[in-house]
Amino acid sequence: MSNTPCPNLFAGHDAGHYTLPDDILKARATHQAALDMPYPKPPRNSWETVGDVAQAVADALRDGTELPDVDQIEQARKAERIYQDALDMQDQVAGITGQRLDAALRTHARPLLTDHLRPALDETWQAYQDAHRILVEYGQTEPRRLLAAPAKVRKASDTCDLMAARYEAIASARGDLRLRLGIRCEADPTGKYTMIRNYHTLHVTRWANARTPWHGMNTRHFLDYMASHGGQLWMPTPDEQAQAVDAEADLGNPVKRASGF
């Protein structure tokens, strides 16, 4: 949707990955209706009408006939003004409905996290872990090596694919809230704990820019890693995120760890 705040948030909802508050959906529908309003057909350029009248006057003077009504020039200019006013009005309508949509998103920012994205993520992560466990018990997690596996195992692999796609949609929606609405945690400026509760337990390092073990992995391999290494995927509020940062502060600070604090 063009010119719409949080496009990833709406894309995930439209794909059926999670719900959204009715107020936001109504504001989105109104804004879309404003964007879809058909533009009026542009009128003929008034200067072309001036030329036509001038030609007609010249012909009338030559032929000794009645002069044409020059008021048609003013009518042409009026049509141009009405057309431009209509365009300006439509732009303003789109702006107003867009602002109302943005306001609705900001008003419901916390419920978006706690009542919509969080339940979707919890459900997705649990389903992924359950399916991943079946693959681990079978002894293989790579889809290309499961073509001859029992139906239960292949179904589990399909579930992992579906949940990986759902996780991507949820993570993208959370990114919209963080980047477009400013729903972020000041205590976690790089966003390490935005989706992973025990980040430093999984990646203890003295270097701030050190690559994580899951760097460069696709979503399914990332989720496999998390499932295999005790990753705690979550959807925190900024306050909850700050608490997680504080809880693992010593793990992420090699000086404190060495000093025993």
The domain boundary residue, chosen from 54, 78, 107:
107
> Which pLDDT value is given to residue 40?
92
Quick check: is 87 in a domain? Answer: yes
Tell me, yes or no, whether 156 and 65 share the same domain.
Answer: no
Tell me, yes or no, whether 100 and 163 share the same domain.
Answer: no
C-beta of residue 174 within 8 angstroms of C-beta of residue 156: no
CB-neighbour burial class of residue 199 (10 A; exposed 0-12, middle 13-18, buried 19+): buried
Domain count, the chain: 2
> Which pLDDT value is given to residue 177?
95
Tell me, yes or no, whether 98 and 132 share the same domain.
Answer: no
> Which pLDDT value is given to residue 106?
94
> Which pLDDT value is given to residue 236?
97
> Which pLDDT value is given to residue 52?
92
C-beta of residue 80 within 8 angstroms of C-beta of residue 41: no
Mean pLDDT for back-to-back runs of 10 residues, the chain (261 residues): 82 97 97 94 92 94 92 94 96 95 95 97 98 96 92 96 98 95 93 95 80 95 97 97 91 49 36
The domain boundary residue, chosen from 49, 80, 107:
107
* pTM of the complete model: 0.84
Say how far apart CA 211 and CA 81 lie, in whole Å: 60
CB-neighbour burial class of residue 85 (10 A; exposed 0-12, middle 13-18, buried 19+): exposed
Tell me, yes or no, whether 175 and 84 share the same domain.
Answer: no
> Which pLDDT value is given to residue 254?
52
The range of the structural domain enclosing residue 177 comes to 108-259
Quick check: is 244 in a domain? Answer: yes
